[in-house]
Structure 1
Amino acid sequence: MGEEKFTNVGEPPQPTSRLSQIAARSIDTRLQSLEGTAGMHIMRLIHRVAVFVVAVMYVQISLKSFSTALTILRGQVSKDLPIEIYSSNLIAGYAGAKTIRESRLVQRVLDGSTSPRNYSLYLETSSAQSFSGCSDLPNFAHDIYDNDFLRFIFAKLQMHASYNLSYVTELELILPIVDCTFELLVSGDRTVARVYYLVRRKSDPTQVFLLSASLSAQDYQVAQQFLKGAAAVLLIAAIEDMRATTLNHHIAVALNYPYVAEPAFAYSELEGVDNDNYWLLQTLPNQRNLDPAMSVRLARRFGRYKSDVSAQSNIETAHWDLPSDPTMELSEWRWYGRAVLHDSWAWTHAIHGVFAISVIFNLSVLAFVITRRLRVGYLWVGDAFSTISNMLLYRGVIVLICNHLNGYWTITKMCISIGDSITEQHEIYYKPELVHADLLAVYLNFASVFSYLSRTRGPVGGVCYVRAWMGLPFGACEVIPRSQKAHY
C-alpha cells in the first residue's frame, strides 16, 4: 500500500493553481480597501459634524457681537466694578477703642495736652512720628501734605461753613494728622488727600474730636447753568468716641477749585446716585458769596476717550462709601466704581448680524438636506465649512474697512486692557465679543486666502485658537481634527 497524505484541518485550504492564487489576492485587497474606505467615511463624518458645530458657533459669535453693538448704540452698557479699598494702617491704632481724649494719640503722643500746636503730626510707624513729613517715601507729595496747606483747607472750611457744617466754626484746631501708610499717599496720587484734624470745642476744651477729612478732585456738572469742570470735594466725619455705632457725614463742594485762588466750600446734601454712578448733590445757598442753590452731578472720573467723551469713551466713575463704623472710617477709603461705555461708531460692528443671517440660511438648507436623507435611512452630513467659506475673503475686507471707520477703537481698548492686566495695573472693562467677532472674521479671511493659494483647506481649528487667545471656553473645539484636503 502506498503512503497516504494527511491534510492539516487547522489551516485554511491553500489554492493550488496560479489562477486561484491571483483571485484570492484580489479578494483580500478588495476587502482591505473596503475596510479603509469605511474608516475614512467615519472620520469624514466626525469631521463634518465638528465643522457644523463650529459654523453654529460662528453664528453665535456674530449674533452676540451684533446684539452688543446695538446695546452700545442705545447707551446702555455699564458695569459695576469691584469696590476699591485704600487702607491707612496706623490711625485706628492711635485712636484706640474709647474716646479720642483717652486715646494713645492724645495721652502718649501729645502727653495728654490738647493745646493747639503750630505743626502737623505724621504717623510713620506704630511707635514713631514725625513733625516734618513722611520719610523714606520717594513719591510723597510735600506740597499737598504740607502743614501750611492742610491748615489752609481747614481755615477755608471754617470760613465758608454753613447749615449742618456750622459746628466746624465752634471747633479749635489742635493739629492736622497724616497717616504715612495711606496707599494713595505712598503711590504719590496728587488728586486726593487724606487728613485727620484733631480738634476741640472752643466752649469746652475737654471735648476732643477727630475729624476724618477726605479731599478729592472730581468732575462736576450743573445742567441748569450749563456748567461743568473740576471741583474739590471735602467729606467730613466727626468722631468723638470710637465705640459709636453711627457716623454723620457732611459734604462740602468747592466748584472750579484748584483753578481758582481759594476754595469756596458750599454745604451740599446727598440726594442719591444716578445710573452713571454720579452723586446727585443739592448745594445750598452760600451765605458768604451769595451763590444760589444748584443741583450738581459729581463723581471722580478716569479712563480714556477718542475725540469726544460722548462719542467714543471708556470712562469709570467712582464715588465714596459712607461707613457707619468709626474704625472703618479712619482706616479705609472705599470707592464704588462703574464703567460706562460710549461708542457712537458701534454700528460698524452691526455688519456681523448680516453675516450671521447669511450663514443661518445656508446652515438651514444643509440641515434640511441632512434631515431628508435621514428619513430615507442614509446618514449624510454635508461640509458646513463651505457654507461660510464662499464669502470669507470679502467679509474680512469689510470688517477691516469697518474697523478703520471706527478708528480701531475696539481693538485699542482690548490691547490696553490686556496690557494693564499683564502689568497688574487697573483693569479696563470692555466688551470682548466685539473684538472676538472681528478677529474671527479676519482670521477666516487669511485662512481663505491660504486655501486659495495652497489649494488646501485651512484648519477650521483656528477658530478654537482665536477663542483660546481671547480667553473664551473651547466648547466643541477639542474634537476638530487637523486640516483636510479640499476634495473632502
Structure 2
Amino acid sequence: MAKVAVRHRSFSPKTRQTGVAVKRITRAQVLHLMRRICVLAAAIYYVGVSLVASLQALNSLKGATSPLTVYRNYSANLITAYLGHDAIRESKLVASLLDNSNDATSTPLRNDTMFLESLTTTSFTGCASVAKFNAKIYDSALLRSDFVKLVEEGAYNLSFLSDHELILPVVDCSFTPLTLGDLTCARVFYLTRLKSNTEQMYVITVSKAIVNYAVREQHTEGTATLISFTLVSDMSMTTSVQHYFAVGLGF
C-alpha cells in the first residue's frame, strides 16, 4: 500500500515580505520623547532669558533704563530744604532772590540759572563742587529754551502752562545722575509765577530722559525725549501731586 505524505500547514500569521521587522512605538517611548522635547525647549528658553538679562544689565550700567523705571532711583536732596514746608512764595529759595524786599510778587525775572551747591551755598555759574558736572546739559540758555518749548508744544493738551512765566531755572547739584555724569537724564526745577496772579508762585519739577521707542504697527523706531513734570505751589499741601508726561520723538 502506497504511503501518502502529510503536509502540515503553518498557522503562524503572515509577515510582509520586506525582510524588515515592523516595530510599534510604545506609550512609554512617546512619553520619554515628549519629556526630552520639553527639556530642550526649557534649555532654549533659559538661554534666551539669560541673553536678554545680560543685555539689560549692560544697558543699565550705561545709564539706559525702561520708561517705567527711568526716574525711580534718582534723588535730589537740597531742593527740599530751599522750598521749606509752606507756600513756595514764602520759601528760602524765593527769599534769596528778593534783594532785601519782603514782597514776593516783585521777584524779578532773571536771565540766569541758580545752582544749589549745598544747604548754604548757591551759584549762578554751575556746580563747582561736582567733578562730573556737564555744563552743556545744564546750560542756562538751553534750560530756558526747553521751558519755552514745553509751554508752546504742550499748548493743546497742557494749556494751563501758558499762564506761567519763568522767573528762573534751579538746578540741584546733588541730583544723582548729575553727580555720576549720567548724560541720559536731567532734572530742573523751574520757579514760575502766574501771569494772572503774580502772588501765586510754583515750582515745576521737570525730569527729562533719553529713551528708545518703537511703534510696531508703523514699523518705526528711534530715540525720543521722555519728560515728566509736576507743579507745586505749597509744600504743605496734603493732596496727591499730579504727574504729567510728554514725549518728543526724534531726539
* TM-score normalized by the length of structure 2: 0.70
Cα shift at 1:70: 4.1
CA RMSD of aligned residues (A): 2.9
Q: How far off its partner does 1:67 sit?
A: 6.6
1:89 aligns with 2:82: no
Displacement, 1:68?
A: 4.4
Counterpart of 2:226 in structure 1 is 233
Where in structure 2 are the equivalents of 1:152-191 lying within 5 Å?
152-191=145-184
Separation (CA, whole Å) in 2 of partners of 1:201 and 1:157: 16
SS at match of 2:142: helix
Q: Rg larger in 1 or in 2?
A: 1
1:65–1:136: structure 2 CA closer, same or farther, 3 Å change rule? farther
Equivalent residue for 1:99, pick from 77, 87, 94:
87
SS class of match (2:118): coil
1:249 maps to what in 2?
Answer: 243
The correspondence for 1:210, drawn from 191, 203, 213, is 203
Of residues 139, 142, 156, the one that matches 2:135 is: 142
Deviation of 1:76 (Å) = 11
Query: Take 1:72 and 1:186, find their aligned partners in 2: how far apart are those partners?
Result: 37
Q: CA deviation at 1:253?
A: 0.9
Alignment: residue pair count: 195
Structure 1 residue 155 displacement after superposition:
1.1
1:196 aligns with 2:170: no
146 and 110 in structure 1: CA distance in 2 versus 1, 3 angstrom threshold: farther
**1:122 and 2:115 are equivalent in the alignment:** yes
CA gap 1:78/1:209 in 2 versus in 1, 3 angstroms: same
Residue 214 of structure 2 aligns to a residue in which SS? Answer: strand
Corresponding residue number in structure 1 for 2:33: none
Q: Secondary structure at the match of 1:216?
A: strand
Q: Is the 8 A contact 2:97 2:107 kept in 1?
A: no
Counterpart residue identity of residue 251, structure 1: F
Residue 125 of structure 2 aligns with an amino acid whose one-letter code is: S
Q: Distance in 1 between matches of 2:132 and 2:48?
A: 43
Q: Are 1:108 and 2:102 counterparts? A: no
Greater helix fraction, Structure 1 or Structure 2:
1
Contact residue 164 and residue 250 of structure 1 kept, 8 A: no
Residue deviations 1:77-106 (CA, integer Å, cap 9, x gap): 988x9x752221100111111111111111
With over 3 angstroms needed to count, the CA separation of the structure-2 counterparts of 1:89 and 1:208, relative to structure 1, is same
Instruction: Give the 3-state SS of the residue equivalent to 1:252 in structure 2.
Output: strand
Identity of aligned residues (%): 39
1:75, CA displacement in angstroms?
Answer: 6.8
Instruction: Determine helix, strand or coil for the equivalent of 1:86.
Output: coil
Rounded to whole Å, the distance in 2 between the matches of 1:255 and 1:158 is 17
Q: What residue ranges of structure 1 are gaps of 5+ in the alignment?
A: 1-63, 258-488
**8 Å contact from structure 2 (residues 226, 245) kept in 1:** yes
- Aligned letter for 1:186? T
Aligned to 1:155, what secondary structure does the other structure show? helix
Match of 1:219 in 2: 212
Q: Structure 1, residues 109-141: CA drift from partner, whole Å, max 9, x if none?
A: 444442211100000011110001110322111
Measure the CA separation in 2 of the matches of 1:256 and 1:242: 36
Give the SS at the match of 1:219: strand
* Runs of 5+ unmatched residues, structure 2: 1-37, 58-68
Query: Partners in 1 of 2:51 and 2:158 — Cα distance?
Result: 38
Are the counterparts in 2 of residues 185 and 193 from structure 1 also a CA contact under 8 Å?
A: yes
